[in-house]
């Protein structure tokens, strides 16, 4: 069974640009979570989607947004990129409210 898949794996952008990251959850999982892992800051919760709806949002500005599609895959969009947005963006999925998250390998974003 395929795990959580993310694309792209690496990308480089410049300040002010926009980026879209994609995530496909494990088959049968309806919840998708996005986390930002920046150097020295640990894992910061960004967004939680379940059944196509945004259920919870972390303490990030509105230029971080996303959506979940009917097939439960998800996109994370970041507008007006800033240098401090450079990080590993991790997507995770879960089946129901078990608390256990299954992570993808991440998309590493570098903003120059």
Which residues make up the interface to other proteins (CB under 8 A)? 4, 31, 33, 35, 41-43, 45, 48, 50, 55-56, 58, 90, 92, 94, 97-106
If DSSP codes are grouped into helix, strand and coil, which group holds residue 88?
Answer: strand
From the CB of 7, what's the least distance to other proteins, in Å?
13
| Integer Cα distance of 95 and 104 in angstroms | 15
Closer CB to other proteins, residue 66 or residue 104? 104
From the CB of 82, what's the least distance to other proteins, in Å?
22
Name the token pair of 48: 């939680």
Termini Cα distance of the chain: 37
| Integer Cα distance of 28 and 51 in angstroms | 11
Closer CB to other proteins, residue 41 or residue 80? 41
């Amino acid at each position: 069974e395929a795990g959580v898949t993310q694309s792209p794996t690496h990308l480089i952008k410049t300040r002010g640009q926009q980026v879209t990251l994609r995530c496909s959850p494990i088959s049968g999982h309806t919840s998708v979570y996005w986390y930002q892992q920046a150097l020295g800051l640990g894992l910061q919760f960004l967004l939680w989607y379940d059944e196509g709806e945004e259920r919870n949002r972390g303490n990030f500005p509105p230029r971080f947004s996303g959506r979940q599609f009917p097939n439960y895959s998800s996109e994370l969009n970041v507008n007006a990129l800033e240098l401090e947005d450079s990080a590993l963006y991790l997507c995770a999925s879960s089946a129901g409210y078990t608390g256990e998250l299954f992570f993808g390998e991440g998309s590493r974003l570098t903003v120059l």
